[in-house]
A and B are shown apart, each in its own frame.
Chain A
Amino acid sequence: QVQLQESGPGLVKPSQTLSLTCTVSGDSVKIGGFYWTWIRQHPGKGLEWIGYIYHTGRTYYNPSLKSRVTISVDTSKNQFSLMLSSLTAADTAVYYCARDHLGATISWFDVWGQGTLVTVSS
Chain B
Amino acid sequence: QSVLTQPPSASGTPGQRVTISCSGSSSNIGSNTVNWYQQLPGTAPKLLIYRNDQRPSGVPGRFSGTKSGTSASLAIVGLQSEDEAEYYCSAWDVSLNGHWVFGGGTKLTVL
Contact = CB atoms under 8 A, between A and B. Distances in A.
A62 interface: yes
A46 B32 contact: no
A95 B105 CA distance: 17
Contact of A49 (B47, B56, B99, B103): B99
B44 A108 contact: no
A63 interface: yes
Contacts of A101: 50
Contacts of B32: 105-106
Interface residues of B, number: 28
Interface stretch (A13-21, A25-33, A76-84, A109-117): A109-117
Given A46-B102, A49-B99, A62-B99, A109 B47 contact: yes
Interface residues of A, number: 21
Contacts of B100: 49, 62
Contacts, number: 60
A105 B98 contact: yes
Nearest to A44: B105
B55 to A, nearest CB: 12
A113 B103 contact: no
Contacts of A105: 31-33, 92, 94, 98
Interface in B52-111: 56, 88, 90, 92, 94, 96-105
Nearest to A96: B44
Contacts of B104: 45-46
A37 to B, nearest CB: 8
11 contacts: A46-B2, A47-B105, A48-B102, A49-B101, A62-B100, A105-B33, A106-B32, A108-B50, A108-B90, A110-B56, A113-B44
